[in-house]
Amino acid sequence: MGIIYKEKEQVFHLQTKNTSYIMKVVKGKYLAHVYWGKKINTPNMENAQLNRLIGFSATTDNEDKSYSLDFVCQEYPTGCGTDFRIPAISVLFEDGSRNLQLTYDSYKIIKGKPAIKGLPATYAENDAEADTLLITLMDTLQKVKVNLFYTAYRDLDVITRRVEIVNEGTGALTLEKVLSTNVDFETADYDFISLPGAWGRERHVERTSLRSGVQSVESRRGASSHQHNPFMALAAKGTDENQGEVYGFNFVYSGNFTAGVEVDQIFKARAYMGLNDYDFSWLLESGESFQAPEAVMVYSAKGFGDMSRTFHDLYRRHLVRGRFRDEVRPVLVNNWEGTYFDFTEEKILAIAKEAAGLGIELFVLDDGWFGKRNGDDCSLGDWYVNKEKLPGGISGLAEKINQFGMKFGLWFEPEMVSPDSDLYRKHPDWCIHVPGRMRTECRNQLVLDLSRPEVCDYIVDAVSQVLDSANIEYVKWDMNRHMTELGSAGLPVERQKEMAHRYMLGLYDVLERIVSSHPDVLFESCSGGGGRFDAGMLYYMPQTWTSDDTDAVERLSIQYGTSLAYPISTMGSHVSAVPNHQADRVTSIQMRGDVAMSGNFGYELDLTKLPVEEREIIRNQITQYKELRTFIQSGDMYRLASPFEGNHTAWMFISKDGNDIFAAYFQVLCEVNPGIHRMKFTALDPEAVYEVVEDGSRYYGDELMEIGLVVDCYGDFQSRTWRLKKV
């Protein structure tokens, strides 16, 4: 395993536990892609068709007419040349030209994985976990250096890619497009998998066949967005959860992105991922460099399930950081859907006291505790306590909740400002805006301009003062609108199109400073629910509020889709009241609890209003989850039945040692006089005996996998769970 370089043939071979990624320098100039898939020996390059002239395509060598870049599978293609497919980079030079010609210059093999300054990325804790290949391409005329970083993880079938552009010329240049990865496939015989959605309907699974032209997902909203997640996969025809080839791509970034596939004239497929070039450019002065975010690539020959578990292991072990990477997450109650803005200290304490008696470990005070905030029309940016609601302040409330034996958490929305706020009246130019244009409001708020250092400093200081004033052990960090009228009063005219990316760099700086100075606070990110559920945010905050939609039926699809790339330990999932506040649906407390247990478990309702019998069910749910959460949050997830394919959904979790299993089966609508439904388990030891904890019955692993257990679900919105232990 590691990185092999064959100097004579100029072949690079990256190896992970089960995969190979191979490149070759063609004609001494061009970095060509040869292979990505199951682990193999370094192949005979005569067997790789790297050169060919396509009709009506230009060649780069007038002496050799049999060669065209429009055919070559390239690693980092440029535009305005003889390759007419989508380029990975576009540059505007001072003379007005855009013809960037990159050729191979040099390479370096590095033990471990270098960090990216100012950007989130996966990491290796020591040099034994990964190897990194740095390949340098050069435009010798314009003196532009492009550094391509490839990291191969030794024990995971993961290759990460990122790009650095260095201007070594004497003049300035403008980057108009920078992608982080490009993979050219010889065939387009794949399905395109993506996770589209909307607010309250995030990350639904969509699968379509590749076709000629471009299929893409992207965000131009200033956030990774509810509408498209920065994830895509290419799957061979017939691939399912347990078999078939699949190539997964995920972008470690929280802002505007693009990802897609172009099928060309001879049915080859070019997959790409990186920064969205919509309203983007970056002025690079002589001697300056630009770092693009990281892209994660996962190959599996064993279907979607194996791909997902690889992503899960990578993100749990090599993306999430700090104390809470390995700690179990507390069971919480959030007051938002229980009270909204209408609460007093007495009301909050009543809910907290009831929660403590049921075994809940953390109380989270949501929106409405600061400024004069009694609705969503004011006070964002004024991070001082509303003493009319909380006479004892945050510190007093936290102390009283701690006396119940509970931790205390708090909601913030630091990236926003209300026009009706002291902050806006003092600094009206601190929001994103264009002079003379309307400042469009959404949810009665504007977006603070985090491309400005003074704005970032204000947020760090304001949030830190609150966190340091009381025993706050959890923060929900929200962001409830997207960017409009992109402009910054802090940037010169020629750098205005840098604003959206500079915002993200400013946000990451803010998060790094706050999180690193408060290592004992558990941070959860949120953006109107799941509007910024991405690997970039998980680098700073180990979990994300999965969706504002808390309906159990809707959550089946949302959590199933999210699990394609993101581990269960990152998903906030709560039991809410019925009728549900988003779907107006009435589901059983059992089903709501069983769905929420497949994540970081909590409640979002007024516990004081529940009947006694439901409170007892909740007490039992909390007891059960505390027994399960260690391996639910850190074990392997197996998806067994998809909500996108029928009336039933099923999944299971297995501890890493294989000794503990939790499985859940859900029925949405009642079936009159149904046939037999069975829960068929997977990934068990066929020769081992497993005991069902609830009733003591015992079964061999092969019986559970091949015959399964009969499921008795009668009525709408029903669920059934099993806890098994390997005997």
Q: Which helix (H) or strand (E) holds 219?
A: strand 213-219
Question: For the purposes of burial, counting CB atoms within 10 Å of the CB of 62, is it exposed (0-12), middle (13-18) or buried (19 or more)?
Answer: exposed
Identify the three-state secondary structure at position 506.
helix
- What whole-number distance in Å separates Cα of residue 218 and Cα of residue 546? 19
SS3 538: helix
Query: What's the chain's Rg over C-alpha atoms?
Result: 27
The SS3 call for residue 596 is helix
Q: CA distances (Å), 685 to each of 83, 631, 679, 702, in order? A: 51, 17, 17, 7
Q: Residue 617 and residue 620: Cα distance in Å, rounded?
A: 5
The CB density around residue 28, as the number of other CB atoms within 10 Å, is 8
Say how far apart CA 248 and CA 78 lie, in whole Å: 23
For tokens 């960037």, what's the residue? 100
Burial of 39 (0-12, 13-18, 19+ CB in 10 A): middle
d(CA 320, CA 170) in angstroms, rounded, equals 41
Burial (CB count <10 Å: 0-12, 13-18, 19+), residue 519: exposed
How far apart CA 141 and CA 9 sit, in angstroms, is 26
Counting every residue, how long is the chain? 727
CA 165, 171, 174: angle at the middle one, nearest 5?
50
The amino acid at residue 724 is L
Q: Where in the sequence numbering do the catalytic residues fall?
A: 478, 548
Give the Cα separation of 727 and 699 in Å (integer): 10
- Across 28-118, the runs of DSSP E, i.e. the strands, are 30-38, 89-93, 103-111
137 three-class SS = strand
Query: 31 with 45: CB under 8 angstroms?
Result: no
> Helix, strand, or coil here: 11?
strand
